[in-house]
Amino acid sequence: MVNKQLINKIKNIDALEYLKKLPDKSVNLIVTDPPYGVDKTSWDKEVPIDWIKELPRVMKDNASLLIFCGKQNRFEVEKELREIGLTFWQELVWVYRNGGITRKNSYNGHHEPILWFVKNPENFYLNFNGSQWIDTWTVINSARPQSNFKKDRKIHPTQKALDVIKRIVYYHSKEEDIVLDPFMGSGTTAVACKLLNRNFIGCDKNKVYVGLANKRVKSINV
Whether the per-residue pLDDT at 194 is higher than 90: the answer is yes
% of residues, the chain, pLDDT over 70: 82
What pLDDT score was predicted for residue 111? Answer: 82
Asked whether residue 3 is domain-assigned, the answer is no
pLDDT at 140: 60
Structural domain contains residue 163 = yes
36 vs 74, higher pLDDT: 74
The count of domains in the chain is: 1
Tell me if 4 is assigned to some domain.
Answer: no
CATH number of 76's domain: 3.40.50.150
Query: Distance between CA 137 and CA 18 in Å, rounded?
Result: 32
- Is 131 within a domain? yes
Amino acid at 34: P
Helical packing angle, 162-172 and 188-195, nearest 10°? 60
Q: pLDDT-based confidence at 41, cuts 50/70/90?
A: low
Average pLDDT score over residue span 187-215:
95
pLDDT (tens digit per residue) in 67-124: 998 777 888 899 999 999 999 999 998 887 665 666 678 777 778 899 999 999 999 9
Which residue range(s) make up the domain with 47? 9-218
What pTM was computed for the model?
0.87
- Report strand pairing: 199-204 vs 27-32: unpaired
Lowest mean pLDDT among 12-16, 92-96, 128-132: 128-132
Q: Is residue 22 part of a domain?
A: yes
Q: Is residue 1 part of a domain?
A: no
Side chain identity at residue 41, one-letter code: T
**Arithmetic mean of pLDDT over the chain:** 86
pLDDT score recorded for residue 136: 82
